[in-house]
Amino acid sequence: MLISQLLEYYSYIVLASILLTWLPVNDTTRSLTRLVGALTEPLLRPLRKALPQGRQMWAPTVLYVGVLFLRRLI
């Protein structure tokens, strides 16, 4: 139950990471972008390396789907 809930919260953070790429970086979004980046980059970095050349931009989406899949398994 706790792990499932943590995965749900993390999926929201990854979704926020995806949505923040659509917003311009300014003083308002900069701190939020840094926080979300600090929480998602440890998993996105190896995922980007594993994806084929030119597909690294899909890493947040792949991570989001992976977290949702993992949550379903639990």
CB of 1 closer than 8 Å to CB of 68: no
Sketch the domain layout of the chain as residue ranges: 2-73
Residue 5 CB-half CA count within 13 A: 2
Does the pLDDT value for residue 36 go beyond 90?
A: yes
Global confidence as pTM: 0.88
Mean pLDDT, rounded, for 51-63: 92
CA dist 34 and 38 (Å) reads 6
CA dist 28 and 72 (Å) reads 35
CB of 60 closer than 8 Å to CB of 18: yes
Inter-axis angle of helices 2-20 and 27-50, to 10 degrees? 110
**With pLDDT > 70 as the criterion, what percentage of the chain qualifies?**
100
